[in-house]
């Protein structure tokens, strides 16, 4: 996902001199290196200075540029939070704050490097949108949209790192900003997710299909503005809905889906799976940390199977 | 890049008259609102006037940023004088019907960025200077960015991050003007951090060219900026007095916020006229 983003941005930058990348001491992956070599005046490394990263992006945007602030999610959003809020949100500037490794992806680095509350934090800022692609294909679509949009405010762009599998395909609904998207459609059960953990959601959907259910798998790549109508429709059309989310229990997709379910008097069974409201103190693979938070295919199936 | 010569014909005597008139206008506004921030506006009055009427090119290609947002009254009265803000706007300052608050808001006429939460302006100025340079293809006449800071906000780490980037990026079109009035809310900045001064050595160590002058001497400010050697971002440190021009306001912290009562207002006007004459 990270390399795809860099490749797309590099290609677009050839014809769009507005594109600037401001990084905070992160090694330029893949095509980011080409961008740096070919457009050095548009590639700024602030070093370990994230407040300046956001402020400089604001200044660039105030002068008509399309800047991308780029570093690990905790440092792009948490460290310079007031700059994100005031410089970008309050001024409603078209700056993309890229958060690499959203959720608990940096599984060996510990809690300081987990962005497990990022959706709630970014979502609380007025004017701020949130996009979290589930695979490199969605990352490509989102990056193109971020560059080519004519107007709009800041976007928190949450994605993984490298090596995510492609989950979307030709049968998936087309990617459209702000719209829920079905990767496959069924009648009985819907599994709803976004971001890197969609892989786990997909495996849950597979298992439930093997059980004989007709299963939908939907992704909500735009967390804000949320496709309230799309989620309401999903809740109405299925008997059982399962939300799988790599985020704290507050402020993410799961509680918002519950809210919509209440508002529309939904009659479906609704199960939500999120990270715990805890800092887990363990290390291992991404899957290990998710499991420590109670997120695994087995646990989800054990709960949702009748 | 060599230092940019003065773009306007800058008349120091006219600047003195303007600044006294601006201070009186600020005092007028003070009589119908409680939030004023007059003292901080009075300290950066000449620095701001010199930017608008001397340093910035008249075609609008240069940018002014009031990073010390609570000094915005100084900017507002100049923008009013130049026809950018209507008299109505200033008369409605800090009222429910108005558009102008006690800190500058991006989107209002003549306001390039929202500031006032301290420590934000310098990094935005750096980003603006990069954008201007890139738009000009690196040409020496790229739009310049003039950023007025308070010495209090130079305590913010974010300001130093931005100073560091200004020199790293070689932004010769970036000019910071520090309103060094030696005051913050609680008292003197030099008492809060005795090791904070002198500022010029620290800025030079960060790769900036600096000059220190009397910040109420517009001619000295103008000459220092226009005669800079160039090749680096430039910081003018203006030694100023908080509440400059009104005896009972000068260096008295309460006037960071307070508006004068009618008697104080009359005295202030009289003192300002006396100085102007």
Measure A250 CA to nearest chain B CA, in Å.
Answer: 28
| pLDDT, tens digit (0-9, with 9 covering 90-100), for A86-110 | 999 999 999 999 999 999 999 999 9
* In chain A, residues 21-50 whose CB comes closer than 8 Å to chain B: 41-42, 44, 46-47, 49
Q: Which residues of A fall within a CB distance of 8 Å from B166?
A: none
Q: Which residues of A fall within a CB distance of 8 Å from B123?
A: 51-52, 54-56, 58-59, 83, 87
Q: Distance (Å, rounded) from C-alpha B184 to C-alpha A130? A: 38
Q: Which backbone phi and psi does B135 adopt, to 5 degrees?
A: -65, -35
pLDDT for the residue B185: 85
List the one residue out of A23, A21, A24, A3 whose CA is nearest residue A13: A21
Contact status of A292 with chain B (Cβ, < 8 Å) = no
pLDDT for the residue B274: 73
Per-10-residue mean pLDDT of chain B, 277 residues long, equals 54 96 93 81 97 95 97 97 96 92 96 97 98 96 97 97 98 98 91 94 98 98 97 98 95 86 92 74
Measure B132 CA to nearest chain A CA, in Å.
Answer: 7
| pLDDT, tens digit (0-9, with 9 covering 90-100), for A132-161 | 999 999 999 999 999 999 889 999 999 888
Q: Which residues of B fall within a CB distance of 8 Å from A61?
A: 127
Q: Where are the beta strands (DSSP E) in B73-144?
A: none
Question: Of B113, B123, B138, which has the smallest distance from its Cβ to A52's Cβ?
Answer: B123
pLDDT for the residue A225: 98
Residue of A nearest to B162 (CA): A52
Residue of A nearest to B163 (CA): A52
Higher pLDDT, A28 or B195: B195
Q: For tokens 């050595």, what's the residue?
A: B201
Contact status of A67 with chain B (Cβ, < 8 Å) = yes
Q: Distance (Å, rounded) from C-alpha B206 to C-alpha A287? A: 45
Residue of B nearest to A65 (CA): B131
pLDDT for the residue B275: 67
What residues does A103 pair with on adjacent strands? A115
Contact status of A52 with chain B (Cβ, < 8 Å) = yes
Measure B268 CA to nearest chain A CA, in Å.
Answer: 36
Residue of B nearest to A79 (CA): B158
Question: Of B63, B114, B134, which has the smallest distance from its Cβ to A86's Cβ?
Answer: B114
Question: Of B132, B133, B161, which has the smallest distance from its Cβ to A52's Cβ?
Answer: B161
Residue of B nearest to A19 (CA): B131
Q: Which residues of B fall within a CB distance of 8 Å from A20?
A: 130-131, 134
List the one residue out of A124, A125, A115 whose CA is nearest residue A153: A125
List the one residue out of A78, A81, A84 whose CA is nearest residue A127: A84
Query: In sequence order, which ranges of chain A are alpha helices (DSSP H)?
Result: 2-13, 31-38, 50-62, 73, 81-83, 118-123, 136-148, 198-210, 228-237, 253-263, 286-292, 297-304
Question: Of A55, A63, A91, which has the smallest distance from its Cβ to B131's Cβ?
Answer: A63
Q: Is the pLDDT of residue A301 over 80?
A: yes
Q: For tokens 């201007």, what's the residue?
A: B132
Contact status of A127 with chain B (Cβ, < 8 Å) = no
Asked if B134 and A54 come within 8 Å (Cβ–Cβ), the reply is: no
Contacts of residue B201, Cβ cutoff 8 Å, sequence gap at least 6: none
Asked if A55 and B138 come within 8 Å (Cβ–Cβ), the reply is: no
Q: Which residues of B fall within a CB distance of 8 Å from A40?
A: none
pLDDT for the residue B276: 61
Give the tokens for residue B75: 């900017």
What is the 8-class DSSP label of residue A113? G
Please report the sign of the dihedral spanned by the C-alpha atoms of residue B88, residue B90, residue B94, residue B98.
Answer: positive
pLDDT for the residue B8: 54
Q: Which backbone phi and psi does B59 adopt, to 5 degrees?
A: -85, 5
Vertex A22 angle, CA A19 and A28, to 5°: 100
Query: In sequence order, which ranges of A15-131 are alpha helices (DSSP H)?
Result: 31-38, 50-62, 73, 81-83, 118-123
Asked if A63 and B119 come within 8 Å (Cβ–Cβ), the reply is: no
pLDDT > 70 fraction of chain A, expressed in percent and rounded: 99
Q: For tokens 């912290």, what's the residue?
A: B253
Question: Of A17, A41, A55, which has the smallest distance from its Cβ to B124's Cβ?
Answer: A55
pLDDT for the residue A114: 95
| pLDDT, tens digit (0-9, with 9 covering 90-100), for A217-264 | 999 999 999 999 999 999 999 999 999 999 999 999 999 999 999 999
Question: Of B119, B126, B157, which has the smallest distance from its Cβ to A56's Cβ?
Answer: B126
Q: Which residues of A fall within a CB distance of 8 Å from B110?
A: none
Give the tokens for residue A279: 């800092």
Contacts of residue A238, Cβ cutoff 8 Å, sequence gap at least 6: A186, A187, A188, A189, A190, A216, A268
Give the tokens for residue B240: 């100023």
Q: For all residues of chain A together, what is the average pLDDT?
A: 96
pLDDT for the residue B7: 54
Across the range A8-20, mean pLDDT stands at: 96
Neighbours of A287 (CB within 10 A): 14
Q: Which residues of B fall within a CB distance of 8 Å from A69?
A: none
Give the tokens for residue A63: 């002068």
Question: Of A42, A46, A65, which has the smallest distance from its Cβ to B165's Cβ?
Answer: A46
Residue of A nearest to B131 (CA): A60
């Amino acid at each position: 996902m990270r390399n795809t983003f860099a490749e797309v941005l590099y290609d677009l930058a050839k014809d769009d001199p507005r594109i600037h990348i401001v990084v905070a001491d992160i090694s330029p992956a893949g095509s980011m290196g080409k961008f740096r070599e070919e457009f050095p005046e548009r590639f700024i490394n602030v070093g370990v200075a994230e407040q300046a990263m956001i402020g400089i992006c604001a200044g660039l945007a105030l002068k008509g540029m399309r800047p991308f602030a780029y570093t690990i999610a905790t440092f792009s959003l948490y460290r310079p939070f007031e700059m994100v809020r005031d410089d970008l949100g309050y001024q409603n500037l078209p700056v993309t704050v890229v958060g690499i490794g959203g959720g608990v992806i940096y599984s060996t680095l510990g809690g300081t490097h987990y962005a497990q509350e990022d959706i709630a934090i970014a979502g609380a800022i007025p004017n701020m949108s949130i996009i979290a692609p589930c695979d490199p294909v969605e990352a490509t679509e989102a990056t193109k949209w971020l560059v080519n949009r004519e107007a709009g405010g800041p976007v928190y762009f949450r994605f993984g790192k490298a090596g995510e599998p492609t989950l979307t395909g030709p049968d998936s609904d087309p990617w459209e900003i702000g719209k829920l998207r079905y990767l496959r459609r069924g009648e009985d059960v819907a599994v709803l997710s976004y971001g890197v953990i969609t892989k786990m959601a997909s495996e849950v959907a597979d298992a439930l299909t093997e059980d004989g259910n007709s299963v939908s798998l939907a992704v909500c790549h735009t967390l804000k503005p949320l496709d309230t109508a799309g989620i309401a429709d999903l809740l109405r059309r299925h008997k059982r809905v399962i939300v799988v989310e790599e985020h704290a229990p507050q402020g993410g997709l799961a509680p918002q889906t519950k809210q919509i379910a209440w508002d529309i008097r939904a009659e479906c069974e609704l199960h939500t799976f999120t990270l715990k409201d805890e800092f887990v103190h363990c290390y291992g693979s991404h899957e290990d940390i998710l499991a420590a938070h109670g997120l695994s295919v087995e646990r989800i199936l054990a709960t949702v199977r009748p | 890049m060599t230092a940019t010569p003065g773009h306007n014909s800058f008349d120091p005597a006219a600047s003195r008259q303007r600044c006294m008139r601006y201070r009186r206008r600020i005092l007028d506004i003070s009589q119908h609102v409680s939030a004023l921030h007059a003292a901080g506006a009075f300290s950066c009055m000449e620095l701001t006037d010199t930017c608008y009427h001397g340093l910035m090119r008249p075609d609008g290609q240069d940018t002014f940023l009031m990073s010390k947002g609570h000094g915005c009254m100084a900017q507002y009265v100049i923008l009013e004088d130049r026809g950018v803000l209507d008299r109505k706007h200033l008369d409605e300052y800090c009222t429910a019907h108005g558009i102008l608050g006690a800190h500058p808001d991006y989107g209002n006429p003549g306001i390039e960025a929202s500031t006032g939460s301290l420590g934000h302006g310098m990094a935005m100025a750096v980003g603006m200077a990069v954008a201007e340079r890139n738009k000009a293809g690196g040409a020496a006449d790229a739009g310049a960015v003039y950023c007025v800071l308070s010495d209090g906000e130079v305590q913010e780490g974010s300001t130093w991050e931005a100073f560091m980037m200004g020199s790293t990026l070689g932004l010769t079109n970036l000019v910071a003007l520090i309103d060094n009035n030696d005051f913050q809310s609680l008292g003197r900045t030099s008492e809060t951090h005795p090791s904070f001064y002198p500022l010029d050595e620290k800025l030079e160590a960060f790769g900036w060219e600096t000059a220190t002058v009397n910040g109420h001497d517009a001619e000295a400010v103008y000459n220092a900026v226009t005669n800079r050697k160039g090749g680096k971002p430039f910081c003018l440190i203006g030694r100023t007095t908080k509440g400059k021009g009104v005896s009972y306001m000068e260096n008295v912290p309460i006037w960071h916020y307070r508006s004068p009562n009618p008697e104080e207002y009359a005295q202030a006007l009289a003192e300002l006229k006396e100085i102007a004459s």
